[in-house]
Amino acid sequence: MRFMVLVPGSPESEAGEMPSTEVLGAMTKYNEELVKSGVMLAGEGLHPTARGAKVRFNGSERTVIDGPFTEAKELVAGYWVWECASREEAIEWLKRAPFGGGVEIELREIFDADDFGEQLTPELREANERLREQAAEN
Amino acid sequence: MPTATHRAIDAVWRIESARLIAGLTRIVRDVAVAEDLAQDALVAALEQWPESGIPERPGAWLMATAKRRGIDALRRRVVLERKRELIGHELEILQQLDQPDLAARVNDVQDDVLGLIFMTCHPVLSREARVALTLRLLGGLSTPEIARAFLISEGTVAQRIVRAKRTLGEARVPFEVPGRDELDERLSAVLEVIYLVFNEGYAATAGEHWIRPALCSDALRLARILAALVPREPEVHGLLALMELQASRLRARVGPHGEPLLLADQDRARWDHLLVQRGLAALRRAEELSGALGPYALQAAIAACHAQARSVKETDWPRIVALYDGLAALTGSPVVELNRAVAVTMAFGPQAGLELVDSLAEDSALRAYHLLPSVRGDVLGRLGRLAEAREEFERAADLCDNQRERELLLSRAVACGV
């Protein structure tokens, strides 16, 4: 089973401030453990929303909204992708992460292509494939 | 129906058991005793945690509990056998068990796990024993889980594990990471075990299911752990790359009714692109670390050609032939030659392929191998020699032990239409 762990932003991450050496050290140690336990498949930090954008969809209208966005705690500042045998295992790993100060970290199970079942028709699969091919060429 | 706490304990066990058993083996120098102590700690957790809740540091709790059990057992022996004193090495073990956990530092724990891997994959054990013991002690699988995975009885697995532990004890196999002089040889024994587990999941040799993804996951996890523990070894990354790339095709390899799908018939949109990227990255690491690629890295490079191709037609078959040339030179394996014949067929046409297949017909190692007539049938079909192709597919089906694969071969025979 694959999981995504979403790390929320903070005023500091939004200001583009790097965490202290101590915090970075603890996080590096934690990441090392994840890798050395064969759990971590991917993980990245995200730049502040000041460098991002939103696109609002309304009928055929598209409105681009430049960052930064408000409500830092609802923003994503980083993520991991984990492979675990169960939801419980993912929770056990998350409990060991070096966070504090009341922060809440969200754990979500990633859809398997098979979870889409009938909804993903052969035509849609084929369309997906074409898109991936184009993405690979670019 | 297990309770939430029991499921959480299962999860903790999966995370902690290898480290726990490895750390205990270092202290008590006997993997059988270490596993017993770890199991005792698990039983204690199952008794206490539903009441007390899961402790803040469950790994440390399990280790402390296991060590206490070890001390109790040794002291009990002193009481029972009043006539004799504990002998020297028992006293030493007792002292170590009684000490605070100095080895809890990250690097030592990792060395412990590595030591345990080399122990459970030790050449003194049979292949079957290595596989069972590795899955049990490092994969955290229970005996029934291993039995189900390999379609053998629980009794057989239990006996294999008991015997393996006894053999390790009798042979006084040391708990250590081998030195440079024997590292390559010992490492290749470890890689072989991991790949055996993976292959049993990827193309089950027997039974009604064609693939068993859980076994592939277990093998991948072991390979990822190993690659993190010995990051400078190119073939470890080579094997990891091979398995990531093969696993990326896992869900595309089976049709809606559980039937196997050949590479040519797979919906490439269903390949797992995260695993493809991980596989390609691991292959790059293997290439950076070594001048000439080893056998696993070469197979990974072949898998990478497929992973990067949009269709069978657009696959770089000449490059695959060249990679198989390298692989054949390294391994001298007739199975590799057979695969090379397939690549030659795709790159240079079926006539060239058929000549290679026919040159392998006399090889005794391939006599009972169902893929030889299967490949010959495919090549003959491409040449339009359908009656002969049909015979070959039927022969292949006769030789094949996996039900799903046999059905595929028979349907290919029927498709020859003669």
Q: Please, what sign has the CA dihedral across residues B86, B88, B91, B97?
A: negative
Reply yes or no on whether the pLDDT at A127 is more than 70.
no
Reply yes or no on whether the pLDDT at B307 is more than 90.
yes
- Cβ within 8 Å, pair B270-A42: no
- Cβ within 8 Å, pair B222-A125: no
Model confidence, pTM: 0.87
The two counts, helices (H) then strands (E), for chain A are 4, 6
Reply yes or no on whether the pLDDT at B19 is more than 60.
yes
CA separation for the pair A30, B112 (Å, rounded): 19
Q: What is the pLDDT of residue B110?
A: 76
Three-class SS state of A63: strand
How many angstroms separate the CA of residue A104 from the nearest CA in chain B? 18
Q: List the strands of the sheet with A76-83, edge to edge.
A: A40-45, A76-83, A2-8, A106-109
For B175, residues 6+ apart whose C-beta sits below 8 A from its C-beta are: B25, B26, B29, B31, B115, B116, B119
Reply yes or no on whether the pLDDT at B1 is more than 60.
no
Question: Would you tell me how many other CB atoms lie within 10 Å of the CB of residue B403?
Answer: 15
Reply yes or no on whether the pLDDT at B115 is more than 60.
yes
Cis geometry, peptide bond prior to residue B50 (ω within 30 degrees of 0): no
Note which residues in 200-239 of chain B have CB less than 8 A from chain A.
217, 220-225, 228-229
Residue spans of the domains in chain B: they are 1-105, 121-172, 187-315
Range in A37-46, B70-79, B109-118, B298-307 with the lowest mean pLDDT: B70-79
Q: What is the pLDDT of residues B395-418, one digit of tens each?
A: 999 999 888 889 999 999 999 987
- What CATH architecture is B121-172? Orthogonal Bundle (1.10)
Residue type, B415: A
Burial group, residue B240, by CB count within 10 angstroms (0-12, 13-18, 19+)? buried
CATH code of the domain in which A41 resides: 3.30.70.1060
For B54, residues 6+ apart whose C-beta sits below 8 A from its C-beta are: B5, B8, B9, B12
Give the mean model confidence (pLDDT) for residues A87-92: 96
Reply yes or no on whether the pLDDT at B76 is more than 90.
no
Identify the domain containing residue A68 by its residue range. 2-137
Selection from B348, B407, B342, B400 nearest residue B376 by Cα: B342
User: If you search the block for the tokens 């010995």, which residue do you land on?
Assistant: B230
Overall number of domains in chain A: 1
- Cβ within 8 Å, pair B273-A89: no
- Cβ within 8 Å, pair B11-A89: yes
Contact B65, B40 (CB under 8 A): yes
Is the CB of A106 inside 8 Å of chain B's CB atoms? no
- Provide ipTM, 2 decimals: 0.82
Give the mean model confidence (pLDDT) for residues B381-395: 95
CA separation for the pair B129, B167 (Å, rounded): 10
Contact A14, A48 (CB under 8 A): yes
Backbone angles phi, psi at A121, to 5 degrees: -70, 165
As a whole-number percent, the residues of chain B with pLDDT over 90 amount to: 69
Reply yes or no on whether the pLDDT at B302 is more than 90.
yes
CA separation for the pair B27, B4 (Å, rounded): 33
Q: What is the pLDDT of residue A128?
A: 62
Selection from A82, A105, A81 nearest residue A10 by Cα: A105
CA separation for the pair B165, B169 (Å, rounded): 6
Instruction: Report, in this order, helix, strand and coil percent for chain A, each rounded to 5.
Output: 40, 25, 30
